Chain A
Amino acid sequence: AQSVTQLGSHVSVSEGALVLLRCNYSSSVPPYLFWYVQYPNQGLQLLLKYTSAATLVKGINGFEAEFKKSETSFHLTKPSAHMSDAAEYFCAVRETSGSRLTFGEGTQLTVNP
């Protein structure tokens, strides 16, 4: 079965600093990869997705992620953090058969003023 590993359950950055959230996947075939954001007491909102087209994917709210097959990674970045970016972020991989999403454990992002 495919899986994702998110390195760092908590990441803290200063407002205006670079945001880097790490995600590594395990898959024997090219996967479909997703990043979701979850604000307190809310459901998950799709930030961006990789579906084997361009390796650099741009999403909402200024986030982007780069698919690197050689490193089996799909790290999420944002050049300048805003206070409103504080939330939990989940990386997910879609199975090669069916449409089940397998989520990582999540990374809680804190943005300090």
Chain B
Amino acid sequence: EAGVAQSPRYKIIEKRQSVAFWCNPISGHATLYWYQQILGQGPKLLIQFQNNGVVDDSQLPKDRFSAERLKGVDSTLKIQPAKLEDSAVYLCASSLEAGRNQPQHFGDGTRLSIL
């Protein structure tokens, strides 16, 4: 089966600019996650969707980050305006459902550099 697809792989922008990342989960996976992985750290959950509804966005900096999952399939994560501390890899993951023992399948991520 095809894995989680993310684009772009790399993005370089200046601070205060805006940027968007796209994720296409594994076909049939109802649950979609966005993680932020800062260099030298483990991934941190930003937002979790169940179909097209938000389940957990408690760690999403809502003043500058937004995400949507229209039609319960693809998802977009946006940062506006970007700050230097947003430099990180943004990982998308999906799972068949939200159960505790369901493994999450990760994409290769988008590496964002803020100048």
Chain A residues with a Cβ under 8 A of chain B: 9, 32, 34, 36, 41-46, 49, 51, 90, 92, 94, 96, 98-106
The reply to whether B42 and A43 contact each other, CB–CB distance below 8 Å, is: no
Chain A residues with Cβ below 8 Å from B42 are 90, 92, 103-106
With contact pairs A98-B55, A99-B48, A99-B95 given, residues A51 and B101 touching in the complex (Cβ less than 8 Å)? yes
With contact pairs A43-B109, A103-B44, A106-B41 given, residues A94 and B4 touching in the complex (Cβ less than 8 Å)? no
Bound-state Cα–Cα, A94 to B93, Å? 15
Interface contacts (Cβ under 8 Å), in number, total 62
- Chain B: interface secondary structure? loop
Chain B residues with a Cβ under 8 A of chain A: 4, 31, 40-45, 48, 55-56, 91, 93, 95, 98-109, 111
Chain B residues with Cβ below 8 Å from A92 are 42
Tell me the nearest residue of chain B to A48, going by C-beta: B103
Most buried by B among A41, A92, A101, A104: A101
